[in-house]
Amino acid sequence: MTYERSAAEDLLYREAWCLDNKCWEDWLALYTEDAVYWAPAMDGDEGWTDDPDKDVSLMYMDKAGLEARIFRIEGHDSYATDPLPHTAHLVTNVLVHGEQDGLTRVTATWMVRTYARVRGGSVRGGLYEYGLRETADGLRIATKKIFIHDDRIVGPIDVYNV
Amino acid sequence: MTSAQELVDDREGENIFRVHRSAFTDPAIFDQEMAEIFGRTWLYLCHESQIAKHGDYVATQIGTQPVFVIRGSDDDIRCFYDVCSHRGSRLTGRTSGSAKTLTCRYHGWCFNAEGACTLVRGGDEAYRPEDLDRMDTNLRPIEKFGSYKGFLFGCLDADAPPLDEFLGGAMPFIDLMTDQAPDGMEILRGESRYMMEANWKLQTENSTDGYHVATVHRNFATTVGYRETLAPEGDSGMAKTEASRILSLEKINSGGYDVGNGHMINWADRGNPEAGPSWPQREALLQRYPAGKVKWMLERGRTVTVFPNLLLNDVASSCIRVWRPISAELTEIETWCIAPKNEAPEARRARIRKYEDFFFPASLAVPDDVRAMEGAQIGSEALEDGWNDLALGHKTLVDGADDAAKELGVTPLNSNPGREVETPFFAFWREWVARLTP
């Protein structure tokens, strides 16, 4: 079934809220157990890599990988993520494209403003492609693909700031 | 002005080796480095697999100079200043691309992939033939250009020694990577460029620094270890990491070498070599190379830091890293995953996942390195009389080869057992002083 845009928007906004408010367990719960989280790398000036088994991605993770990212943050032992910057996700232009391979395809545009005292503010942006699936717990994220438009990246890229 | 010599307190007989922190902050030193090091030494440009076909090019920089590397119709690879011979516009519009004819976007002059000017638009009407002869409309090749095992280097000093002579003692260690690949090596698709708000030499040191691994990358090891407990079946075989070794309290057979010309080696026995992507090639490699060399290829992780700004890393995965100075406090870093051509899909997949785990600005390790180096930059600004003491390991330093080097049949200038040593840095800093001293 294909969802109304409002249902998809609720889920995407909730994900942004969880990340910006550092509610990590709630954030992880938005993903299905078989979730795939993928930020392809750039290939040339206009393209992105498209085969995670043959090309390098910026991030390509299953749910265990996402949980490990939270473990890393909460351990307070990573120089890059302690102290953790403030983030503000702006998620907009949400569109539902119908169903494919049992998932509801949703796209959106994002900008994240990150602020850390040590390096000040920065803004990055790009596009999201989601595959959403209805579960017993409600609508959940089965796939998320993040196109990060920024090159010559300043500061770390991690799940909390894209 | 303070001289480079005054900034490196190198007293061999007294076991003292210190670097004054203004070496990382002084803009006058930076200008000297751009002229005397980046303007005159061999620098890595790209790998030949990135320009496989006629017209394929990669645009980059040598120090402050824009250059591009392009494959010609004769299959030769050349490197030119990336500047139109007419009025100086940069010719390439992309970081990489393919063009059998390069057309200047400004006034439309054309050049072929061998650098010859093929069209001066409106030239027949506007110039006499002798005008065009005088102007020399062809593209200017860079002064020196060479390849070692597919790694392409350029140099703007016509009097520099040949590339092989410059690479010198680093070559056997580069071979340890390339000789794993009977069909040659290739750069994988997927680029990464990131900025570090710190001096470029902090990255040179960090690349060969075994001492920071147990502190900065402790978090990498615990995080990956935790992830393996979540998916034990998924992280078996080649997917299994070697991260736990970082936390190991056991003494790991390891060491550091000064191999001359400013090049540095740091190595450590691998915790789990059979999980390495090239391990299935072991029998074939033993047919071709001495057992000591194969042991070095497959059972020892290596960082090869080539003066001044190249790292070839062959550990759990394989990485090329280049860092380009922008200013004394800002550096652009670029990395690529390099792998043997025709690698089995399982090995390739494992190599890529381990590369993403460690080597990208979105990884579980590089962001922590960058933050550590940026912290060092801030601290380097602090004191008038701040010195970095690099004598760690001085006590165990030996001239010439240690047992491991003898297994490979090489003789470094000096060897040091243990990865937690800073003595390989002497190679870099002595070369740095020599090049900045008139």
B232 in contact with A at a CB cutoff of 8 Å? Answer: no
CB B242 within 8 A of CB B235: no
Chain B residues near residue A40 by CB distance under 8 angstroms: 190
CB B51 within 8 A of CB B58: yes
Q: Which residues pair with A111 in a beta bridge?
A: A90, A125
Closest-CA distance, B6 to chain A, in angstroms, reads 32
The angle subtended at Cα B349 by Cα B343 and Cα B354, nearest 5°, is: 115
- What's the CA gap between B109 and B341, in Å, rounded? 38
What pLDDT score does A119 carry? 81
Q: Which residue of B has its CA nearest to A47?
A: B190
Closest-CA distance, A21 to chain B, in angstroms, reads 21
Ordered by start, the domain boundaries in chain A are 5-148
Interface probe for B, chosen from A79, A145, A150 (most Cβ of B below 10 Å), is: A79
- Among residues B299, B258, B254, which one has the least CA distance to residue B276? B299
CB B57 within 8 A of CB B51: yes
Which residue's structure tokens are 């949400």?
Answer: A94
Closest-CA distance, B68 to chain A, in angstroms, reads 15
Chain A residues near residue B365 by CB distance under 8 angstroms: none
Say which of A41, A43, A65 has its CB closest to residue B227.
A65
Phi-psi region of B418 (alpha: psi -120 to 50; beta: other; left: phi over 0): left
What's the Rg (C-alpha) of chain A?
15
A42: confidence class by pLDDT, cuts 50, 70, 90 = very high
CB A145 within 8 A of CB A38: yes
Ordered by start, the domain boundaries in chain B are 43-147, 168-436
Q: Which residues pair with B310 in a beta bridge?
A: B306, B322
Equal fold, B43-147 vs B168-436: no
CB A17 within 8 A of CB A43: no
Judged by CB atoms closer than 8 Å, whether chains meet at B190 and A45 is answered as no
Judged by CB atoms closer than 8 Å, whether chains meet at A71 and B226 is answered as yes
Judged by CB atoms closer than 8 Å, whether chains meet at A59 and B362 is answered as yes
B32 in contact with A at a CB cutoff of 8 Å? Answer: no
Closest-CA distance, B335 to chain A, in angstroms, reads 11
* CA distances in angstroms from B33 to B43, B53, B55, B200, listed in the order given: 13, 35, 33, 11
Return the CATH number of the domain spanning residue range B43-147. Answer: 2.102.10.10
* CA distances in angstroms from B139 to B64, B120, B226, listed in the order given: 18, 13, 55
Phi-psi region of B41 (alpha: psi -120 to 50; beta: other; left: phi over 0): beta
The angle subtended at Cα B258 by Cα B19 and Cα B181, nearest 5°, is: 130
Interface probe for B, chosen from A78, A122, A159, A161 (most Cβ of B below 10 Å), is: A78
Say which of B191, B219, B223 has its CB closest to residue A42.
B191
Structure ipTM: 0.97
Q: Which residue of A has its CA nearest to B196?
A: A154
- What's the CA gap between B326 and B424, in Å, rounded? 25
CB B210 within 8 A of CB A60: no
Which of the listed CATH numbers 3.10.450.50, 1.10.10.10, 3.20.20.370, 3.40.50.2020 matches domain A5-148?
Answer: 3.10.450.50
A131 in contact with B at a CB cutoff of 8 Å? Answer: no
A119 in contact with B at a CB cutoff of 8 Å? Answer: yes
- Residues composing chain B: 438
Judged by CB atoms closer than 8 Å, whether chains meet at A55 and B368 is answered as no
Query: Helix crossing, B425-436 with B200-207: angle to 10°?
Result: 150
A68 in contact with B at a CB cutoff of 8 Å? Answer: yes
Alpha helices by DSSP H, B143-281 = 163-167, 171-178, 200-207, 213-216, 218-230, 244-247
What pLDDT score does A3 carry? 66
Token code pair at residue B258: 């000064």
Fold held by B168-436: Naphthalene 1,2-dioxygenase Alpha Subunit; Chain A, domain 1 (3.90.380)
What is the pLDDT tens value at each position of chain B, 438 positions in all? 689 999 999 998 899 999 999 999 999 999 999 999 999 999 999 999 999 999 999 999 999 999 999 999 999 999 999 999 999 999 998 999 999 999 999 999 999 999 999 999 999 999 998 998 899 999 999 999 999 999 999 999 999 999 999 999 999 999 999 999 999 999 999 999 999 999 999 999 999 999 999 899 999 999 998 998 897 665 677 888 777 677 765 678 999 999 999 999 999 999 889 999 999 999 999 999 999 999 999 999 999 999 999 999 999 899 999 999 999 999 999 999 999 999 999 999 999 999 999 999 999 999 999 999 999 999 999 988 999 999 999 999 999 999 999 999 999 999 999 889 999 999 999 999 999 998
Judged by CB atoms closer than 8 Å, whether chains meet at A41 and B191 is answered as yes
Which residue's structure tokens are 């390096």?
Answer: A119
Chain A residues near residue B193 by CB distance under 8 angstroms: 151-153
CB A29 within 8 A of CB B192: no
Nearby residues of B199 by Cβ (< 8 Å), 6 or more positions away = B23, B24, B25, B30, B325, B328, B329, B331, B377, B380
CA B225 to chain centre: 29
Say which of A39, A118, A152 has its CB closest to residue B332.
A152
Chain A residues near residue B356 by CB distance under 8 angstroms: 56-60
Closest-CA distance, A4 to chain B, in angstroms, reads 33
The angle subtended at Cα B229 by Cα B238 and Cα B345, nearest 5°, is: 20
CB B37 within 8 A of CB B308: yes
Say which of B94, B230, B367 has its CB closest to residue A80.
B367
B362 in contact with A at a CB cutoff of 8 Å? Answer: yes
